[in-house]
Structure 1
Amino acid sequence: MSCRLLSADLGTTSLKVMILNGGGQVEGSVSEPVHTYTDGGNHEQKPPEWWQTFRKACRTLQSNGIDLNVDGVVCTGQMEDFIPFKDGRAETAILYSDTRGSRELTKRHLPPDVVTAFTGNDWRATTPLMKWMADEFPEQWDQVLFGSKDYLIYRLTGASVCDPVNGTVTGMMNIHTRAWEEKLWEGSGIFRRQLPRLLEPEETAGYVLKEAASQTGIPAGTPVYCGLGDGGAVTLAASAHAGNDEGYAYAGTTGWTAVPADTLTVSEEGSVFHLAAPQQGRFIKIMPLLNMGNVHQWAVHTWCGGDFEAFEKLIAEPASVSGSLLFIPYLNGERNPVIDEKAKGAFIGIDGQVTQAHMARAVLEGLAFSLKQTFFQAGVTSSTLFLVGGGTKSRAFRQTVADVFQCRVQVSAEQELLASFGAAACGFRAIHKCSWEEAARAVQSVDEEEIIVAPDVSKKEKLERKERLFIEAAGRMRGLFNT
């Protein structure tokens, strides 16, 4: 089975567009930066700029000799956006990280247990934003989209759609029926006609319009599939790359552990979030971490002036192994296993022998300990950990995770395109009517070998002792800075 697909991943920091054939061969790929406009707690991007960037990426592929006459287009991208439309135009996208409307979290019109029964989760950011916009600026929007990839679909086809993965995070979708649940927004000033159609990831959203074809070079009439939010796309690709259904760890700006599941699980300790999986009747259980690559980057700037390679060398120094020094990485509050938005970071166990190298090493160990705690929450046990995200670029971090987990760490050699591979699986499934497993395996890249990192077993005993101390110390951070 074969086909050619154009797969686009519109993330928070970049847009990646690639042409992939059904044999897992990447014929060409382009990455373009995406700009975020910040003002205090306001975090926005400009949808028209998304479209300009997409057009540029498509034309670059063409200029590189890549034919855009494909069997289908499928997109993924950042989730939990609020993209208001007025008279068919969208000028701004309010991102998931935007804090406006957060006060509406306390204005539920349904008891929390009723909300959880419908959604599998508590309220999240998008619904409060919609309520805030409905109350404060009702004249500024008449329709809404929830994901960056859905804006690309709208510009390509004129269709307004959403997938169940991203639908989950709106707080307005019934996670069991995968349909909008009006009871969740009843009386809020939001109307059903303002919401996009919910489609399964492999369903056809529409076909490339003549105007879009002239701007992008993609032939008019090319099918465009609904695709899915990046959380679902990465999970789909990670499961296929790892060759198992046991979950994976994500180490980006923030972090998470994600595990495919057949049932919903409400956690009493820590924050567990559920997404509807691409497969109907299944879910993705996510244990999020607020501190990961953002803390790593802070450490690189603090000790090495932003020089990534210098930080890697600092950690590799022989004297950088300390048996007592701990770092609690809660620089931005935390959600797992300590739920405390006011939590702070801390070095513990400093003595006169501690050097910068010790502290740098302790930062990465603290991040790895946090990640391992989420795996315990998820009940995951595996001899190999599949690790994804920008943090995998660090050799030191990969090795630290392997040493802390005391298992092999597997990293995709084509890390930057992982979400694009997951999205492409939707198009492959649509064209060939195959199972999700077959589709995900079919679009795996065959160009590069996976990176495998083995643990240093000589560090096992020392790191286990430090981990026990870390768990005790981290637990004591809860509520410490609330006064």
Structure 2
Amino acid sequence: MRCRLLIADLGTSSLKVMIMGGGGQVESSTSEPVLTYTEGKRHEQKPAEWWKSFKKACRTLHNQGTGLDVDAVVCTGQMEDFIPVKDGRADTAILYSDQGGSRRLQNRHLASDAVTAVTGNDWKSTTPLMKWLADEAPEKWERVLFGSKDYLIYCLTGVSVCDPVNGTVTGMMNVHTRTWDEQLWNGTGISYRQLPLLLEPEDIAGYVLKEAAVQTGIPAGTPVCCGLGDGGAVTLAAGFQAGGDSGYAYAGTTGWAAVPADTLAMSKEGSVFHLAAPQKGQFIKIMPLLNMGNVHQWAVHTWCGHGNFEEFEKLAAEPKAMPESLVFIPYLNGERNPIVDEKARGAFIGIDSQVDESHMARAVLEGLAFSLKQVFAQAGLASSSLFLVGGGTKSRALRQIVADVFQCRVQVSAEQERLAMFGAAACGWKAVHECSWEEAGKALRGIDHRDIIVEPDVSKKEILVKKERLFAEAARRMRGIFDV
């Protein structure tokens, strides 16, 4: 099977556009920066700037000699946006990180267990978007979009759509039927006509309009897939690329473990939420960590002045006589798993007179690895390999420590920056060939990614198991200690 695709990934900091050739190879790619406007707790972007950047990216590809005559366009991008549209225009996109909205809708007319049964999550696990809908006067906008990629689709086709992955986090979608559920917003003044059409990721949302064709160079009439939010796209690509269904770990500014699930399973402790998976009848269970790359960056700046990353790598790589009692609890910013404790803070435990900065640097990375392993244990998962993605994978020391703590092979994607785009490509592949997800996955697995493989050091197993127990006990005893 062969198909040629134009794929766009509109994230919070950049727009990436690439052409994937008929055999799955990347013919050409380009990127444009994306600006965020902040004022206090308000975090917004300008949809008009998104569209301008997309048009510029398409012209860049064309000027590079890359034809834009493709079998389909498929997009992915940031989720949990609130993009009000009036008279065909969207002046602002309120981002998921925005905290300026009212919390009035947290007091729902539905009982919390009823909400969970329909959405797969409690209200605290859904986006703040719904909190805006009551206060931002629904009569002032005709329709709303919930993702950056949906705005690109709207500009290309004139059709407003949403995929089930992103639909989950709006708090308005029935996660079982993958349809909007009016009981979830009853009494807010919102109507079905204001909501986008819910489509499956591989469904055709529409076709490139003549005006959009003139502006972008993409031929009029080219099919445009619904695509999916970046969380679902990365999960899809990770599953295909790793060749398994054991989930993956994300080590970015924050972190999470994402595992496939056939049923919803809420946790009594910690913060666990679910997304509808790209595949019908399946879910993605997400266990977030507030502390990951942000803690790594703090450590780099603390011990290696001016943020010298390579210097920190050398410092933490293999210090001599690493104390068996030294552990670091990385809760600098509170934590959400394995317990929810907003007031939690970090701590070094087991410091003696032999501890130096190299020991402390390595303890920080071990603490992050222990924390990551806890969320996988929380999900009841153990595997002979771990697929690791995110900016934190640039650290050789962290990659090795994760492999040693998990005592399993760590696979790091060579396509970190484009992983979501490969997930989106699977949607386009499935749409063009009307094939199964498995067949689309086989096509993507055939691409030579040359991933990084890190094997665990079995000689460290015994000591790290002891330190992991110490870590877990210390973290348990610190629960609630900062409530005073």
Same fold (TM over 0.5): yes
Q: d(CA) in 1 for partners of 2:321 and 2:46?
A: 44
1:375 to partner: Cα distance: 0.6
- Select between 333-342 and 162-171 the one with higher mean Cα deviation: 333-342
Deviation at 1:135, TM superposition (A): 2.3
- CA shift, 1:136, in A, is 4.5
Q: In the alignment, does 2:462 pair up with 1:426?
A: no
SS in 1 for 2:450: coil
1:392 aligns with 2:393: yes
* TM norm structure 2: 0.96
Q: Which residue of 1 aligns with 2:72?
A: 72
CA contact (8 A) 1:44 1:95 kept: yes
Residues 1:277 and 2:287 are matched in the alignment: no
Q: Tell me the secondary structure at the aligned position of residue 401 of structure 1.
A: helix
Cα deviation for residue 354 of structure 1 reads: 1.9
Distance across 1 between alignment mates of 2:377 and 2:346: 22
Given that residues 80 and 96 in structure 2 are in contact (C-alpha distance below 8 angstroms), is that contact kept between their aligned partners in structure 1?
yes
Report SS of the residue matched to 1:165. helix
Structure 2 counterpart SS, 1:392: helix
Q: Which residue of 2 aligns with 1:91?
A: 91
1:7 maps to 7
Q: Which amino acid in structure 2 is aligned with residue 118 of structure 1?
A: V
Residue 123 of structure 2: SS of its match in structure 1?
A: coil
Bigger mean CA deviation after superposition, 419-428 or 441-450: 441-450
CA 1:476–1:89: 2 relative to 1, 3 Å: farther
Which AA in structure 1 matches 2:169? V
What does residue range 237-276 of structure 1 map to in structure 2 within 5 Å?
237-276=237-276
For the residue of structure 2 that corresponds to 1:187, the secondary structure is coil
Q: 1:233 to 1:101 in 2, by over 3 A?
A: same
Provide the rounded CA distance (Å) in 2 between the counterparts of 1:477 and 1:57. Answer: 50
Contact kept in structure 1, 2:125 and 2:273, CA below 8 Å:
no
8 A Cα contact 1:83 1:94, kept in partner: yes
Name the CA distance, whole Å, in 2 between partners of 1:455 and 1:95: 39
Q: Supply the RMSD in Å over aligned alpha carbons.
A: 1.7
What residue identity is the alignment partner of 1:51?
A: W
Change (3 A) 1:370 1:126: closer
- Where 1:58 maps in the other structure, the secondary structure is helix
Residue equivalent to 1:402: 403
Secondary structure of 2:103's aligned partner: helix
User: Which digits, 9 at most, give the CA deviation of each residue in 1:338-383, with x for residues without a partner?
Assistant: 2012221222222222222122111111111111011111111111
CA distance in 1, matches of 2:160, 2:124: 22
2:370 counterpart residue number: 369
Q: Verify: 1:115 aligned to 2:115, yes or no.
A: yes
Corresponding residue of 1:168 = 168
Tell me the CA shift for residue 125 of structure 1. 7.0
Once the two structures are TM-superposed, the CA of residue 193 in structure 1 deviates from its matched residue by 1.5
Counterpart in 2 of 1:345?
A: 346
Deviations 1:212-267 (A, max 9, x none): 22222211111100001111111111111111111111111211111111111111
Give how far 1:77 is off.
0.9
Question: Which whole-Å CA distance do the structure 2 matches of 1:231 and 1:172 have between them?
Answer: 18
| Residue identity in the other structure for 1:307 | N
- The worse-fitting range, judged by mean Cα deviation, of 126-135 and 247-256 is 126-135
Output the CA distance in 2 between the equivalents of 1:139 and 1:433.
Answer: 40
Structure 2 unaligned regions, length at least 5:
none
C-alpha distance in structure 1 between counterparts of 2:52 and 2:438, whole Å: 34
- What's the counterpart of residue 100 of structure 1? 100
Does residue 176 of structure 2 align to residue 181 of structure 1?
Answer: no
Q: CA deviation at 1:446?
A: 2.3
Is residue 478 from structure 1 mapped to residue 479 from structure 2 by the alignment? yes
More deviation, 124-133/269-278: 124-133
- Cα displacement (A) at 1:2: 0.1
Q: Distance in 2 between matches of 1:129 and 1:431?
A: 33
The verdict on how the C-alpha distance between 1:338 and 1:105 changes in structure 2, with shifts beyond 3 A counting, is farther
Deviation string, structure 1 residues 431-453 (Cα, Å, up to 9, x no partner): 11111011122134624311100
Q: Aligned pair in 2 of structure 1 residues 327, 127: CA closer, same or farther (>3 Å)? A: closer
Tell me whether 1:463 sits opposite 2:473 in the alignment.
no
Contact 1:135/1:189 (CA < 8 Å) preserved in 2?
Answer: no
Displacement of 1:140: 4.1
Q: Which runs of 5+ in 1 are unaligned?
A: none
1:186 offset after TM fit, Å? 0.1
What do residues 90-148 of structure 1 show as CA deviations (whole Å, max 9, x unaligned)?
12111111122362353112100000010010125766433434324445433211111
- Corresponding position of 2:82: 82
Counterpart Cα distance in 2 of 1:188 and 1:320: 62
Tell me, yes or no, if the aligned pair for 1:320 and 1:361 is still in contact at 8 Å.
Answer: no
Q: What amino acid is the match of 1:200?
A: E
Give the whole-Å Cα distance in 1 for the aligned partners of 2:96 and 2:333. Answer: 16
CA distance in 1, matches of 2:239, 2:128: 33
The equivalent residue for 1:44 is 44
Distance 1:396 1:263, change over 3 A: same
Would the alpha carbon gap of residues 123 and 323 (structure 1) be closer, same or farther in structure 2, given more than 3 Å must change?
same
Q: How many residues are treated as equivalent by the alignment?
A: 483
Aligned twin of 2:35: 35
> Shift of residue 64 of structure 1?
1.8
2:213 corresponding residue in structure 1: 213
Which range is displaced more, 314-323 or 412-421?
A: 314-323
Instruction: Spell out the pairing of 1:316-327 with structure 2 (5 A cutoff).
Output: 316-319=317-320, 321-327=322-328
Structure-2 separation of matches of 1:125 and 1:49 = 30
319-328 or 167-176, which moves further after superposition?
Answer: 319-328
Q: Secondary structure at the match of 2:320?
A: helix
Q: 1:316 Cα shift?
A: 2.0
**TM-score of the pair, normalised by structure 1:** 0.96
CA separation of 1:55 and 1:125: change in aligned 2, threshold 3 A: farther
Q: Deviations over 1:301-338 (max 9, x none)?
A: 22222122121122125338332221111122111102
Farther-moved stretch of structure 1 (120-129 vs 231-240): 120-129
Q: For residue 141 of structure 1, what is the aligned residue in structure 2?
A: 141
- How many percent of aligned residue pairs carry the same amino acid? 76
1: CA distance, partners of 2:479 / 2:49: 42
